[in-house]
Amino acid sequence: MKICVLVKEVPDAAVEKRINPSTGRLDRGGEKNLNPFDTHAIEAAMQLKEGGALSIDEVVAVTMGPESAKRALTKAVSLGADRSVHLSDDALAGSDVNGTGYALAQVLASENPDLVLLGQQSDDGECYTIGAVVADHLQMPSLTQVIKIDVEGGALRCERQAEYGYDTVQVELPAVISVGDAINEPRYPSLKAIMGAKKKPLETKAAGDVGIEAGRVGYDNARAHCSEFAAPPAKAAGQIIEDEDTNETVEKIVAWLDERKLLA
Amino acid sequence: MSGILVYALHYEGAFNKNSLGAVSEGARLAQQLGTECHAIVIGEGVSDDLAGQLGNYGASKVYRVEGPEGLAQPVVDAMEAAIAAGGHEYALFGGGLLGFEIGAGLAARLDAGVCMEVTSVRVEEGKLVAERPILQDSQISSVHYRSGVGVIIGRLNAFEVAETGGTATVEDLPVEFKAHSLKAKMVQRGEQRGADVNIEDADVLVAGGRGLGKKEGFDALEELAGALGGAVAATRAVVDAGWYSYSAQIGQTGKTVSPKLYLAAGISGAIQHKVGMQASENIVAINKDSNAPIFEFSDLGIVGDLNKIVPKLTEAVKAKKGA
Ligand SMILES: Cc1cc2nc3c(=O)[nH]c(=O)nc-3n(C[C@H](O)[C@H](O)[C@H](O)COP(=O)(O)OP(=O)(O)OC[C@H]3O[C@@H](n4cnc5c(N)ncnc54)[C@H](O)[C@@H]3O)c2cc1C
């Protein structure tokens, strides 16, 4: 069996994100990192492989993005993926959710996986939607925001928190599952794995290689266009106390609470 | 093409508030566009009475589909069929997990534009424009649709529930589900885990997040809550990690509260948490990261280590109250 894990390079959480006003797109400059949720997806793939209840021949990391996105793949491989695929093409730049999900589905289809895993959200804005988009294109059952996966026969028994409490859902393979960060504790890559990661196969594909129709991707073909950024209505900034002397801090908090009659 | 189609989620004979808000919003927008708002419900044996209730929130027609409730893909099939029959121009969802999942799947199916976390929708030149806060709510972007159908996924409870006193016709819609849509099966729905605590009636809530570091971190919060005469609440991150019970979870997939005092310890202030507590009268946050988003909407922010502050605060509150 083959597991494909979707990964993405995102701006480091410590970097302040901003919009480039001239393009209306997220400014993706600065420090980059593998999207934290994706490390949980890779870990989930490794645990399925090592668990032995499914016989997994390989775990393939897949990303779409510019040249620099290769680093996310190298990181994914150092965490255990056997090889990686990089979908990279100028025609894809500026794709919206609809175009991105379609393009990713095309590259996944060329791999023909038994299971697609991904993080439920990316740090830079795609909002828990890619899994469901990809699944519809691949015609696979799908579940998002999963926090537990057990293998049951040839199917997966997944748990997640939903509107009315916890849901347990059985999903037949092949399937697309997006995972939350509570699902596991990702391992740290060994030094050997880090050193070896650059030597594992990395295949680069252009849009045409996986049959992506040019009219469905890229900024000009986005079905939803973002524009007109505005500041939200201002809310009066709250008071801030830097804790230097904790006794003093606590006194101030108590005084603040008392003033508002919250200690009655 | 015209009209707005709204998905309404229900469980044990009642619609959720978020869905009723979405239907109300759909009706408001439809009126401005000079068109109609229709709703769609899916489930096993949904009664006329239940489906018809959506008329009171402004839907003129309710499509009723016999199928599994609580999973996204059968609803995508159902909405595709309804749109084929009714020619709707927009599909609207309240927030919540299924709204995201169905909305995204439907956008893929119809090759449509989709915008999520929408907090407001306006009409511009006969079209809907969705407003979405981005970058931790520091900016609001406007999203224009350039597809036959536009998919709008609201932020949880962003749309107000409004009763109109209207009525709806209920129309049964036969749907042939895709093979893959039936390959996910609900084994158990709506399971409650952990003891029930009543956080909705508390005037004071002390909420803990991942910054507590471990399950035992909640002991100190329970002490503080006790001293303040309140209850303990939690973020999803710690509930998922098994540190606290789901019944105390605040936010998008938890409870919405508005106590007099909400004291957040070790909570970053993610949007999905914020939507559940932003209506609190006084918000106090303790976080060691001065850049934590929670400071952007707290009335009093303390930048510091909760392990140092919380125990001392508990003592000080006890002393003050005892005095
Ligand atoms: C569809 C969906 C629905 C969701 N629904 C909900 C929901 O209902 N409710 C919810 O809460 N979340 C929800 N989430 C998750 C949400 O996005 C966040 O992941 C979550 O709220 C983060 O919880 P947290 O603040 O406890 O953890 P973190 O974001 O990890 O924040 C921990 C904070 O603690 C601080 N900290 C660490 N150590 C200390 C210390 N010693 N002293 C002081 N501060 C410290 C850190 O600086 C950090 O800011 C949902 C997510 C999705 C995708």
Give pLDDT tens digits along chain A (264 positions). 999 999 999 877 655 556 666 666 666 566 788 998 999 999 999 999 999 999 999 999 999 999 999 999 999 999 999 999 999 999 999 999 999 999 999 999 999 999 999 999 887 776 789 999 999 999 999 999 999 999 998 899 999 988 888 999 999 999 999 999 889 999 999 899 999 998 999 999 999 999 999 999 999 999 999 877 777 776 677 899 999 999 999 999 999 999 999 997
Alpha helices in A79-208 (DSSP H): 97-111, 130-138, 191-197
Instruction: State phi, psi for A48 to the nearest 5 degrees.
Output: -65, -40
Instruction: State phi, psi for B32 to the nearest 5 degrees.
Output: -65, -30
C-beta of B272 in contact with ligand 1 (< 6 A): yes
User: Do the Cβ atoms of B16 and A163 come closer than 8 Å?
Assistant: yes
* Interior angle at CA A180, CA A29 and CA A121, nearest 5: 30
- What pLDDT, on the 0 to 100 scale, is given for residue A22? 63
The CA distance from A24 to A245, in Å, is: 44
Instruction: State phi, psi for A11 to the nearest 5 degrees.
Output: -60, 140
Window from A21-30, B94-103, B201-210, B234-243 with minimum mean pLDDT: A21-30
Q: How far does the centroid of ligand 1 lie from the alpha carbon of residue B236, in Å?
A: 7
- What pLDDT, on the 0 to 100 scale, is given for residue B89? 98
> Which of residues B157 and B239 earns the better pLDDT score?
B239
C-beta of B103 in contact with ligand 1 (< 6 A): no
Q: Which of residues 303-322 of B touch A (CB under 8 A)?
A: 303-305, 308-309, 312-313, 316-317, 320-321
User: Do the Cβ atoms of B37 and B54 come closer than 8 Å?
Assistant: no
C-beta of B274 in contact with ligand 1 (< 6 A): no
Q: Which residue bears the tokens 């965490």?
A: A79
Q: Which residue bears the tokens 């159902």?
A: B78
CA-nearest residue, atom 9 of ligand 1:
B251
For a mutational test of ligand 1's pocket, the pick from B235, B238, B289, B312, i.e. the residue with the most ligand atoms closer than 8 A to its C-beta, is B235
Rg (CA), chain B: 22
Among A42, A8, A6, smallest CA distance to A26 is for A8
State percent of chain B over pLDDT 70. 98
> Which of residues A100 and B275 earns the better pLDDT score?
A100
**Residues B133-159: what's their mean pLDDT?**
89
Q: Which residue bears the tokens 């710690």?
A: B238
- What pLDDT, on the 0 to 100 scale, is given for residue A10? 86
The CA distance from A96 to A171, in Å, is: 28
CA distance B1 to chain A (A): 17
Of B98, B192, B298, the CB nearest to A165: B192
Q: How confident is the model at residue B258 (pLDDT cuts 50, 70, 90)?
A: confident
Atom of ligand 1 nearest to the CA of B305: 42
The response to whether B250 counts as a known ligand-binding position is: yes
From the candidate CATH numbers 3.90.930.60, 3.30.2020.10, 3.40.50.620, 3.40.50.300, the one assigned to the domain spanning A2-221: 3.40.50.620
Q: Which residues contact A155 (CB under 8 A, 6 or more apart)?
A: A170, A171, A172, A173
Q: Work out whether the CA dihedral B246, B251, B254, B260 comes out positive or negative.
A: positive
CA distances (Å), A202 to each of A73, A108, A191, in order? 8, 15, 20
CATH fold label, B204-322? Rossmann fold (3.40.50)
User: Do the Cβ atoms of A7 and A35 come closer than 8 Å?
Assistant: yes
Three-class DSSP labels, A105-141: HHHHHHHCCCEEEEECCCCCCCCCCHHHHHHHHHCCC
Distance linking the first and last C-alpha atoms of chain B: 70
The residue extents of the domains of chain B are 3-182, 204-322
Q: Which residues contact B116 (CB under 8 A, 6 or more apart)?
A: A127, A128, A129, B100, B103, B104, B132, B153
Cα atoms found within 13 Å of the Cα of residue A210, Cβ hemisphere only: 23
User: Do the Cβ atoms of B79 and B94 come closer than 8 Å?
Assistant: no
Scanning every residue of chain A, which has its alpha carbon at the shortest distance from the alpha carbon of B252? A163
The overall pTM is greater than 0.90? no
Percent of chain A that is helix, strand, coil (3-state, to 5): 35, 30, 35
Q: Which residue bears the tokens 């709707």?
A: B88
* Predicted complex ipTM: 0.88
- What pLDDT, on the 0 to 100 scale, is given for residue A13? 61
**pLDDT tens readout for residues B4-38:** 999 999 999 999 988 999 999 999 999 999 999 99
The residue extents of the domains of chain A are 2-221
The CA distance from A67 to B211, in Å, is: 36
For residue A153, count other CB atoms closer than 10 A to its CB. 10
CA distances (Å), B265 to each of B71, B226, B249, in order? 34, 15, 14
Identify any residues that bridge with A59 across adjacent strands, giving them in sequence order.
Answer: A3
C-beta of B236 in contact with ligand 1 (< 6 A): yes
pLDDT for B102 beyond 80 = yes
User: Do the Cβ atoms of B96 and B16 come closer than 8 Å?
Assistant: yes
- What pLDDT, on the 0 to 100 scale, is given for residue A258? 94
Scanning every residue of chain A, which has its alpha carbon at the shortest distance from the alpha carbon of B238? A182
Q: Which residues contact A252 (CB under 8 A, 6 or more apart)?
A: A241
Alpha helices in chain B (DSSP H): 17-33, 48-52, 72-86, 97-110, 217-228, 236-240, 271-277, 306-322
**Could you write out the DSSP letters of every residue in B262-288?**
EEEES----HHHHHHHTT-SEEEEEES
From the candidate CATH numbers 3.40.50.2300, 3.20.20.70, 2.40.160.10, 3.40.50.620, the one assigned to the domain spanning B3-182: 3.40.50.620
